[in-house]
Amino acid sequence: MNELDQYIRTIPDFPEPGIMFRDITTVLSDPDGFKFAIDEMQKRLSSVDFDILAGTESRGFIFGTPLAYNLHKPFVLIRKKGKLPAETVEQTYDLEYGTATIEMHKDSVAPRQKVVLVDDLIATGGTIEAAAKLVEKLGGEVVMMLFVIELAGLKGRERLSRYNVESLITYPGK
């Protein structure tokens, strides 16, 4: 058993029957669990050469900012369209029913900078793939995508096969 599993609450049949919802709020509400998750993520970065950490709204902010602080690296916000005040680049991607658009500031990544993308969960990989496209539009290079949880049954890792994808814990199914 992965030690992190003891801090993650599983809620059966949420939001619909057959889904095992992996709840990270219990990781965040336990100081030992949160410290464990951040420490383990930081270990995954120990041999990675990178310039910037970037996180997707909003749970990527929660896990990415302590890492940026600990490693003395800049942290870049990737937000839903219309939330950032300066000039942005945007990327639209498909959802199960419809589309979504995310943005980042145009000056947040310079050409050739190496970026680690952080989020709490990889499911289908659509959001983080869109985030990678934003970094690449600005001339940056995504050197790692780092997650707390991976839902293997949704095949996000396969979708992101051209990237270095790391997760602390992998659950089968959805």
pLDDT in 10s for each residue of the chain, 174 residues? 589 999 999 999 999 898 899 999 999 999 999 999 999 999 999 999 999 999 999 999 999 999 999 999 999 999 999 999 999 999 999 987 889 999 999 999 999 999 999 999 999 999 999 999 999 999 999 999 999 999 999 999 999 999 999 999 999 987
pLDDT of amino acid 68? 98
For residue 127, how far is the Cα from the chain centroid?
9
pLDDT of amino acid 149? 97
pLDDT of amino acid 108? 98
- Quickly count helices (H) and strands (E) in the chain: 5, 9
pLDDT of amino acid 110? 98
pLDDT of amino acid 2? 81
Residue indicated by tokens 């659509």: 126
pLDDT of amino acid 1? 52
pLDDT of amino acid 96? 74
CA–CA distance from 8 to each of 45, 124, 136, 170 (Å)? 22, 20, 33, 12
CA-CA distance, 118 to 147, in Å (whole number)? 6
- Tokens at 51, concatenated: 């310039």
Instruction: Give helix 31-44 / helix 59-71 axis angle, nearest 10°.
Output: 70
The pTM assigned to this predicted structure is: 0.96
Q: Which residues are catalytic?
A: 59, 96
Candidates 78, 93, 84; CA nearest to 123 is 93
Strands (E), 6-113: 9-12, 20-23, 52-56, 75-80, 88-95, 98-105
